[in-house]
Structure 1
Amino acid sequence: ADFAVWQRGWLQGEQLAAALGWWQEQLRGVPQVLDLPADRPRPATEALRGRHHPVHFDAALTGGLRELSRREQSTRFMLAAALAASLFHRLSGQDRLIVGTLNANRNRIELEPLFGFFLTQLPLAIDLTGDPPFRELLGRVRAVALGAYAHQDLPFGKLVEVMQPERTLGRMPLVQALVQLFDLQAAAVPDPGLSLRLDPVETYDGNTRYDAMFALFEGADTIHGYLEANAEIFDGTTGARMVHLFLAHAAAVAADPTLRLSALPAFPDALRHQVLHEWNDTGDAPSPPSVVEELTSRAARTPRALAWQGDGWSLTYAELAERSHRLAAVLRGLGAGPEVLIGLFLERTAELPVALLGILRTGAAYLPLDTTHPPERRAFVLEDAGAALVLTQERLRSQLPPEIPVLCLDSGAEEIQPIEPIRPIRPIDPATRAYVMYTSGSTGRPKGV
């Protein structure tokens, strides 16, 4: 009660204005939302379900990080906050972001012996612009943290009240990510005058109020703890990847603190191997079946199913497969094969799908010719494309240039005799052309593509 009375009396007039002014200047222009990529949409209402993911720095890594913080004259908390900021920067792409921390708020000697809850939350506005080396980022975090400690008397609720950030039930105002580092060695030493022993007890109610919170505990030789992630928007595997990437960043900067943020690992080692080697192993990927192979497979499964129907004509899959195979045998005898171009000048009868598939069976390419186009255009297209043959019908033959070889599928039916047995399909090279289409061209002159 005495502390509350003192705080209300202190937070008035110029004192309050100065404290608010400092924090407002620190947060000016900094996004008030940390937009971490989520696995699912954020609930419209507040949901507290969380999930813990263990974090462990072994003795070698802990020693390297302690040496780094000593050289850079920074506390281990400042180093942990800088590592968290580099992680959130990599995940969100934000160059300026807020990382929060909880502060004991016992910055006066009179408060040390008092029982009570004096905890306050400090939003650290961290600037990562310019792709700085990690040691420079650590210096920036150090300066921000020291300034925040010097202005910790302003209650976080008062700052939120004045700044009035956009509020949603599913997201905490200003601070959505938090970092904490606790000194287990200091906490484990009770007053020697008391017969007390302090043993830590881990408790977790399964809830979280932040999207991501790193709680780290520093022991004699190692640092351990957990990432508490919002289970409403993050899968368990996503939280685990965050931890692995956090540890990868820590190992990288412990080895070389001059690395720029862009040079820090984008993936943990295991995930990097999975992405580059396991997911990208396309050497043995099977080629997709060709349209001819698909047709043959369908004809074997459902031979009597209707494949084509129109103008009084109908073909089952078995009939379509057999007729196109017989036509392909004739076309091969006439020189059809890969890169050979064969024209299609047919009306929409059952002969059209037979002709198209017959050409593809040989590995040749087809050249569709529109029956409504003028003869001059057809003649140009055939000459320009270099068609070796045209499949047509007797009633359309007179509309083709006399010098082009033709095969009439209606009057030339005797040339297309049954072949027993039907031979296996020859593999079709997917690198060869399958067809040539002629457009009007930008100049009005037809152009084949």
Structure 2
Amino acid sequence: MIQAPAKDRHARGRHDREIIALAVPAFGALIAEPLFVMVDSAIVGHLGTPQLAGLGIAAALLLTGVNIFVFLAYATTAAVARRVGAGDLPGAIRQGMDGIWLALLIGAAVVTVVLPTAPGLVDLFGASDTAAPYAITYLRISALGIPAMLIVLAATGVLRGLQDTRTPLYVAIGGFAANAALNAALVYGAGLGIAGSAWGTVIAQWAMAAAYLTVVVRGARRHGASLRPDAAGIRACAQAGVPLLVRTLSLRTVTLIATGVAANLGDTEVAAHQIILTLWSLLAFALDAIAIAGQAIIGRYLGAGDKEGARAACRRMVEWGIASGVVLGVLVILARPLFIPLFTSDQVVQDALLPALLVVAVSQPISGVVYILDGVLMGAGDGPYLAVAMIITLAVFAPVALLVPTLGGGLTALWWTMALMMTMRMLTLWVRTRSGRWLVTGATR
């Protein structure tokens, strides 16, 4: 048997250690916000169905409001990692502070919009007369935590760029525990009901933001980096984030179209679709953790001017993505008898769910490659291409998905269009990585 040269084996081993060290803690931090919602749902659910329905509507609005600004983490990670690779730690932290100031400004703007428009936003979701008051109460109070969560996104990007994913994990664990304790104390102990759940979450979110800021401020003082807002730096962060915002909105549009098509197919199909979408999101967290490691590692290599190191890291992470996708796909198939009954006992929904779930399992290796290459190009600061690639993918996906009710095939056909969407993403990202145009070195791009 032919063995790889010792030099290659050593390089792969080094990349593996870096990926594991960054990806495992990143996965824990990624699931913090969904866990917040789960705890809130579990506690509020005992207050009554209208309260839980109100929470569901408000939570969907809040998660959307936060997640569309995820570029605060991604763009900051890439920019900071480049500075780290170039050996400019003060500049790296300064770059990160620009991202944090931008997060604070965006957060303040979102709050000023949400507070007066909360009733209208809730009404758009078609909330019932009994659920709407609870949704408005939760949304208005929880909106006060949006600046904190955006600061958390930006500060998480700073620490990832500094090759530190452990601190975000620790903060996420602390925030989760504080949220659970505060919710129980304020909802039941203080008798504040759904308002107590909202206040508990807001306090936990600001505590997380304070913890992140403490770490970043200490680093800034240690390296002599300025903490003052810099208009030019903030503007540059915003400009770098616009393409990633376009990419994120395009992805959200894909999800909305898929859900709309499922709703058009019938109640059984949309119920099954939501269950699959939940699983799909969980699988995405696992793959995205490796992608986050890719952002930090690729940015550092390019900042150091090491194109070959970046190429080698990219190849190894793609191998990780494929392997992880295969493992996750097999787990989905093996665990389906345990997974499906957790969400529904309706045999009709289960029958609609099963074949579509197999499509998700089969497409996981493709998803693995997509998430890795997405992370690589983000780490390279290749946002404009990512935006264009996602728009092209959306243009291919939308007409095909919208034809599903006409052509037939039901939910399974819809999820085959989702697999087509992921295949299109893989092809556009593969073309870019093969071209080498993303290999732009230097402390800035």
Shorter-chain TM-score range: under 0.3
- Tell me which protein shows more helix as a share of its residues: 2
- Tell me which protein shows more strand as a share of its residues: 1
Q: Bigger radius of gyration, 1 or 2? A: 1
